[in-house]
């Protein structure tokens, strides 16, 4: 089958029509004639060999091929906007940009420690951080919207994406609580946890299964008073004394300073932290700095 070079102006007009839901509204938005958009849509469909839009009442709706094309167009034009933003930066050439995806399950204090090394390079680094769920971040990384992902799990073994996991380190997990709760449940730990109020990450988090297993092998059934996708929100409820909550032992000092909570006991469960990149060998200097210094500065206390 003969293929044609993609005309990005045609694709942009299609993108706008798909967003606006009609050729008329897209024409008004772009300040061009309706006939111009109609003609360029026809040329795009001829180029790809498939209908991308179909009439439904007074609106145009996406065909299956159109939905596929829109997903790619979203990525293409978002990257274009990001390119314009980067190139318009007055500091370009003097500042290195590091675009980081942070898994919503990653403790924020761990994230800040992981990024510290990048900020200590001789060249100034501009951090741009996005937080999202793990699967969405992997998709963004695969189309180079991100330089690296920092997360609590490796890439799944069966993935078709060409992305690679780099183990940064691990920390033993402890249960923390405000002083009043910690004093109540520290004695005779972990048996004291029977019926104790605890705050846990949801089962979307890599660590949750290991925490449940630890409770099981220690034959204790705490009362789970809250489950959270967002680790920061979990910590906030921990700070107001709603329940005991898990956190990395290596961050005991920071947990006390930020949340007024102290360790109740170690759980003998390790949480791992990863950087995920598009390359087996890291090429971005700031990401390389994170990998080089992370063990000493983050996980060793």
pLDDT digits (tens, 9 = 90+) for 112-165: 888 887 787 777 888 889 888 888 888 888 878 888 899 988 888 877 778 888
pLDDT value, residue 92? 55
Answer left, alpha or beta for residue 188, where phi above 0 means left and psi between -120 and 50 means alpha.
left
Which class for 164: exposed (0-12), middle (13-18), buried (19 or more C-beta within 10 A)? middle
Cα dist from 13 to 35, 55, 259, whole Å: 12, 17, 51
Identify the sign of the CA torsion 275, 281, 287, 288.
Answer: positive
pLDDT value, residue 297? 53
Kindly state the tokens that stand for 129: 């951080």
Q: What is the DSSP letter of 207?
A: T
- Half-sphere exposure of residue 262, counting CA atoms within 13 Å on the CB side? 8
pLDDT value, residue 87? 65
**170-270 matches 95-169+274-299 in CATH topology:** yes
pLDDT digits (tens, 9 = 90+) for 261-300: 999 999 989 888 888 988 766 677 787 777 776 655 555 4
- Rounded to whole angstroms, the Cα distance separating 98 from 52 reads 36
Does the domain made of 8-87 have the CATH classification 1.10.10.10? yes
Q: What percent of the chain has pLDDT over 90?
A: 28
pLDDT value, residue 301? 45
Output 115 or 214, whichever has higher pLDDT: 214
Output 105 or 212, whichever has higher pLDDT: 212
Sequence ranges of the domains in the chain: 8-87, 95-169+274-299, 170-270
- Rounded to whole angstroms, the Cα distance separating 287 from 230 reads 25
Nearest to 264, CA basis, from 208, 207, 197, 170: 197
Output 5 or 91, whichever has higher pLDDT: 5
| Per-range mean pLDDT, top range of 161-170, 190-199, 277-286 | 190-199
pLDDT value, residue 1? 43
CB-CB contact of 237 with 214 (8 Å) = no
The top-level CATH class assigned to 170-270 is: alpha beta
Q: What is the DSSP letter of 301?
A: -
Which class for 156: exposed (0-12), middle (13-18), buried (19 or more C-beta within 10 A)? exposed
The arithmetic mean of pLDDT across residues 4-28, rounded, is 85
pLDDT band at 89 (very low <50, low <70, confident <90, very high): low
CB-CB contact of 209 with 217 (8 Å) = no
Nearest to 174, CA basis, from 190, 197, 150: 190
> What average pLDDT does the chain have?
85
Q: How many helices (H) and strands (E) does the chain have?
A: 11, 10
pTM attached to this predicted model:
0.63
- Rounded to whole angstroms, the Cα distance separating 157 from 147 reads 21
Nearest to 185, CA basis, from 175, 172, 170, 171: 175
Does the domain made of 95-169+274-299 have the CATH classification 1.10.10.10? no
pLDDT value, residue 183? 94
Kindly report the number of other CB atoms within 10 A of residue 91's CB atom. Answer: 10
- Rounded to whole angstroms, the Cα distance separating 75 from 91 reads 25
- Residue 26, pLDDT > 80, answer yes
- Residue 185, pLDDT > 70, answer yes
Q: Which residues contact 13 (CB under 8 A, 6 or more apart)?
A: 26, 30, 37, 40, 41, 44
């Amino acid at each position: 089958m003969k293929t044609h070079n993609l005309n990005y102006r045609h694709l942009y007009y299609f993108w706008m029509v798909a967003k606006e839901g009609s050729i008329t509204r897209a024409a008004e938005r772009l300040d061009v004639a309706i006939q111009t958009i109609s003609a360029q849509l026809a040329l795009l469909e001829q180029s790809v060999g498939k209908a991308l839009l179909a009439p439904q009442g007074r609106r145009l709706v996406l065909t299956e091929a159109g939905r596929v094309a829109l997903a790619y167009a979203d990525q293409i034009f978002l990257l274009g906007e990001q390119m314009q933003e980067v190139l318009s930066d007055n500091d370009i050439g003097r500042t290195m940009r590091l675009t980081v995806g942070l898994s919503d399950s990653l403790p924020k204090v761990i994230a800040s420690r992981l990024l510290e090394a990048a900020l200590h390079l001789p060249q100034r680094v501009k951090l741009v951080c996005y937080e999202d769920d793990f699967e969405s971040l992997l998709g963004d990384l695969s189309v180079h919207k991100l330089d690296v992902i920092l997360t609590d799990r490796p890439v799944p073994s069966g993935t078709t994406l060409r992305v690679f996991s780099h183990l940064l380190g691990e920390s033993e997990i402890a249960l923390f609580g405000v002083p009043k709760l910690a004093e109540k449940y520290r004695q005779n730990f972990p048996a004291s946890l029977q019926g104790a109020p605890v705050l846990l990450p949801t089962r979307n988090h890599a660590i949750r299964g290991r925490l449940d297993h630890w409770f099981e092998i220690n034959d204790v059934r705490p009362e789970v008073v809250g489950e959270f996708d967002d680790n920061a929100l979990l910590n906030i409820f921990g700070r107001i004394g709603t329940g005991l909550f898990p956190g990395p032992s290596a961050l005991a000092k920071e947990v006390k300073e930020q949340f007024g909570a102290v360790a109740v006991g170690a759980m003998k469960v390790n949480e791992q932290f990863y950087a995920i990149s598009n390359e087996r060998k890291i090429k971005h200097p700031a990401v390389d700095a994170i990998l080089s210094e992370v063990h000493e500065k983050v996980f060793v206390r």
